[in-house]
Amino acid sequence: MAAAVVLLALAGASAADAASLQQVGVFSLPMYVTSAPNDPNRLFVVERGGRIAQVQGGVVTTFADISESPKFDPGSGEGGLQSIALAPDFGTSGRFYLYFTGPEKEIHIAEMRAAGGSAPLSSLHDLIEIPHPEQSNHYGGQLQFGPEGALYISTGDGGGGNDPFRNAQSLSSLLGKILRIDPEPSSLFGYVVPAGNPYPGLPAPYDTIWNRGLRNPYRFSFDSEKGALLIGDVGQDEREEVDYAPPGAAPGANYGWACREGRMIGPKAGEPECMGSPSFVDPIFDYAHDDPGDGGSRCAIVGGYVVRDPNLPDLFGRYLYSDYCGGSLRSFEPNKSDATDRSTGLEVPFITSFGTDTCDRIYVASEVGRVSRLTGTDNVACPRAKPRAQAFIGIKAQNGRVKRNKRAQITAFVSPCAGRRGEPVKLFRGRAHLGTRHLDRACSVRFRPKINRRANFRAMISEDANYEAAASRRLTIRILHHKRHSRHRN
């Protein structure tokens, strides 16, 4: 399909924001756009009805379709297939993750696998199923891998007005939250809880909670340069908000709903869960539904991305967002005054989502079917994917010989260390995966496998946005045999 350039710069647009929308294609209720982790020219468009379309070289094909799965039901409200996230090692593992709703309005976080990143596909494998029985709205719906390689999940408060089920503040509900997991196919649940989650003492699956106090965090993102987390949380009657957490500062953050709505007092401010001394995190930005900046017709924020596309220099470093009812694409400077908020001069009716590829290009999806890319005046072709640096992973044992059925102490360490703390390292005995540990502050991990015979071990770390995957040398641990001493008669 030849790409058609659609210029939507409107009267009154800022000259500094000279930008346009280049149409990628037309789809059936497109909900989200992303690309293969190391192939920015291989796009995936998520359709609400269950299809994942692939766009490559202007040709649209079906990559996957879950519409006939008994687990899937788009429902009559805000349900359906909401988003996907491709594993950082998708090119080799073929693993990707889906967020969709089921026949009982429940939320499914599931894994599928494509051979070498392409068809054929495995069946759906649930990692987490979240009950959502009462209402068919406020699902949240975003999946995103964070800078450290963990998978983040946003869920709405369960629907209805004023959070009637008190889910958002409760640590015994997964609704109204950001969750954080480390997908691990060989583990009991298909995932493990990463080190650093703020509630490790809670029973599973509530130990996956990362943030709470959210109404409907429909879209969130990470700044690809700085790693900050930005959440577009849909408000109720008064305010729409964007919440912000610098890298490493988000565990346990409580964004206040329904004790607060934006920076205002919320509908449940006088309830027990809002009393005492809860520490709420203020949004960095909020706006009223009747704000004149968009014609006074806004109703539901659609969170976007911090722009890092070098072809958009006048938007570079600004957070791009929109509103489902207003439709204007707007931006502001994170951590600056609300006064920096301004229009790009572009409008997208009934916007459903923003998206990015691995070249940091920005995409916009609309309920009317169009998916477009935001382009600059130069329209420079996408550069090659960002090269990954070489990584090294070492491995050593406290002792090379261990008594039979005793445990060895094996240490693995990664270099360079910058930006890798918290990333998962896997230990293998031969081809068997023994377990996963997460890098500490010194970028090292320790394993204690039981030794019953001579064994060879390797440690492995997956690729991420900055480093290539790496495997250690082979480490051999042998059985310690005691020498028998004979008594000699004189």
What's the CATH code of the domain at 176?
Answer: 2.120.10.30
Full domain range(s) for residue 253? 4-375
Residue 342 and residue 433 share a domain: no
Q: In angstroms, rounded to a whole number, what is the distance separating the alpha carbons of residues 408 and 389?
A: 32
Distance (Å) of CA 167 to CA 43, 80, 245, 375, 474:
35, 21, 22, 40, 49
Tokens of 32: 């989200």
| Statement to judge: residues 295 and 443 lie in one domain | no
pLDDT of residue 1: 36
**Greater pLDDT, 116 or 273:** 273
Pairing of strands 401-402, 475-479: parallel
Q: 484: pLDDT confidence band, cut at 50, 70 and 90?
A: low
Instruction: Examine the domain organization and report whether 308 and 456 are in the same domain.
Output: no
Flag whether 148 is in a domain. yes
CA distance 481 to 39: 52
Give the three-state DSSP class for 293. helix
Per cent of the chain over pLDDT 90 is 69
In-domain check, residue 436:
yes
Q: 15 pLDDT exceeds 50?
A: no
| pLDDT value, residue 393 | 94
Q: Is the residue at 208 inside a domain?
A: yes
The CB density around residue 246, as the number of other CB atoms within 10 Å, is 13
Q: What is the CATH number of the domain that holds 423?
A: 2.60.40.2470
Confidence grade of residue 213 (pLDDT, cut at 50, 70, 90): very high
- Over range 363-391, report the average pLDDT: 81
Do residues 217 and 144 share a domain?
Answer: yes
Confidence at 185, pLDDT banded by 50, 70, 90? confident
Q: Is the pLDDT of residue 5 over 70?
A: no
Q: Is residue 104 part of a domain?
A: yes
Report if residue 384 sits inside a domain. no
| Residue 466 vs residue 371, higher pLDDT | 371
Instruction: Quote the mean pLDDT of the chain.
Output: 89
Q: What is the DSSP string of 307-370?
A: ---TT-TTTTTPEEEEETTT-EEEEE-TTS-GGG-EEEEEE-TTEEEEEE-TT--EEEEETTSE
Angle at CA of residue 82, ends 81 and 86, nearest 5°:
95
Q: Above 50 in pLDDT, residue 109?
A: yes
Residue 295 lies in a domain: yes
- What backbone torsions phi and psi does residue 41 show, to the nearest 5 degrees? -95, 5
Q: pLDDT of 436-462, one tens digit each?
A: 998 887 889 999 999 999 999 999 998
Phi, psi of 319 (to 5 degrees): -85, 125
Residues 39 and 111 in one domain: yes
pLDDT at 277: 65
At residue 409 the predicted structure's pLDDT band, cuts being 50, 70 and 90, is very high
Determine the residue type at 242. V
Percentage of residues of the chain with pLDDT beyond 70: 90
Residues 210 and 88 in one domain: yes
Compute the distance between CA of residue 179 and CA of residue 182 in angstroms, rounded to an integer. 10
Q: Please check the confidence at residue 334 and state whether its pLDDT lies above 90.
A: yes
> 272: which DSSP letter?
G
* Phi and psi at residue 274, to the nearest 5°: -100, -5
Do 162 and 277 sit in the same domain of this protein? yes
What the block records as the tokens of 323 is 């509103």
Strand bridging mode 475-479 / 455-461: antiparallel
Domain count, the chain: 2
Lowest mean per-residue pLDDT among 245-259, 376-390, 436-450 = 376-390
Q: Tokens 């996956």, residue?
A: 208
Cross-strand pairs, 49: none
Domain annotation covers residue 381: no
pLDDT the model gives residue 462: 85
Same domain? For 18 and 55 the reply is yes
Give dist(CA 374, CA 304) in Å, integer: 12
Residue 58 sits at the vertex; the CA angle it makes with 55 and 60, to the nearest 5 degrees, is 40
Q: 320 and 464: one domain?
A: no
Chosen domain end from 375, 408, 426 = 375
Helix, strand and coil in the chain, % to nearest 5 = 5, 40, 55
Same domain, 365 and 400: no
Q: Greater confidence, 358 or 416?
A: 358
* pLDDT for the residue numbered 389: 72
**Domain-ending residue, one of 342, 375, 408:** 375
Q: Do residues 343 and 408 both lie within one domain?
A: no
Residue 380 domain flag: no
Q: Which segment, 290-299, 349-358, 463-472, is predicted with the most confidence on average?
A: 349-358
356 and 405 co-located in one domain: no
State mean pLDDT over 108-112.
Answer: 97
Paired tokens of 115: 């051979």
